[in-house]
Amino acid sequence: MLQLRPMDTQMPIFNQLGEDLAPVILINVFTVDAADVPALLKAWENDANWMKQQAGYISTQLHRGIAGSCVFLNYAVWESVAHFRAAFTHPEFQSALGAYPSSAVASPHLFSRLAVPNLCAA
């Protein structure tokens, strides 16, 4: 079963789900034991394929730390917090979390883009 650990202890993912923002970016950092990497990848692939079918889903990309790292970063774009909330709290998705290996820890967090003059467009 996937363990959830807040990226920001002051504002865990479940507290963020009540916000009314659009669009949002989900950043989810996973850690897992080396022996469990294949199981993590399979569970993540199944979840990503399910999320891809949900309203408001735009895209996702999984990254792995280099040099044999067992840290993974998922970057997913959603039309709104409401769309993400509907998918994330769906009973089918929540029950799928049981497919992750017991060593897997996830730290999901929602972000909005910021404009920084001459560097970043909002």
Cα 38 to Cα 83: distance, rounded to the nearest angstrom: 29
**CATH code assigned at 104:** 3.30.70.100
The number of folded domains in the chain is 1
The pTM for the full model equals: 0.94
Does 64 reside within a domain? yes
Alpha carbon dihedral 64, 66, 68, 72, in 10-degree steps, equals -20
In a domain, 81, yes or no: yes
**Residue 112, C-beta contacts closer than 8 angstroms, at least 6 positions apart:** 21, 23, 24, 25
Is 88 among the domain residues?
Answer: yes
List of residues 6+ apart from 70 with CB closer than 8 A: 31, 32, 33, 34, 37
User: Residue 14 falls within a domain, yes or no?
Assistant: no
- Please determine, for residue 1, whether its predicted confidence score (pLDDT) is greater than 90: no
What pLDDT was estimated at residue 9?
97
Measured distance CA(114)–CA(60) in Å, rounded: 19
- Is residue 107 within 8 A of residue 28, CB to CB? The reply is yes
Task: Classify residue 119: in a domain, yes or no.
Answer: no
Cα distances (angstroms) measured from residue 60 to each of 1, 67, 75: 22, 23, 6
Residue 52's domain comprises 3-8+31-111
What would the two tokens of residue 17 be?
């789900």
Q: Among residues 91, 103, 21, which one has the least CA distance to residue 50?
A: 91
Q: Domain for residue 84, yes or no?
A: yes
**Mean pLDDT of the 24-34 span:** 98
Question: 91 lies in a domain?
Answer: yes
pLDDT tens digits, one per residue of 61-117: 999 999 999 999 999 999 999 999 999 999 999 999 999 999 999 999 999 999 999
The answer as to whether 39 is a domain residue is yes
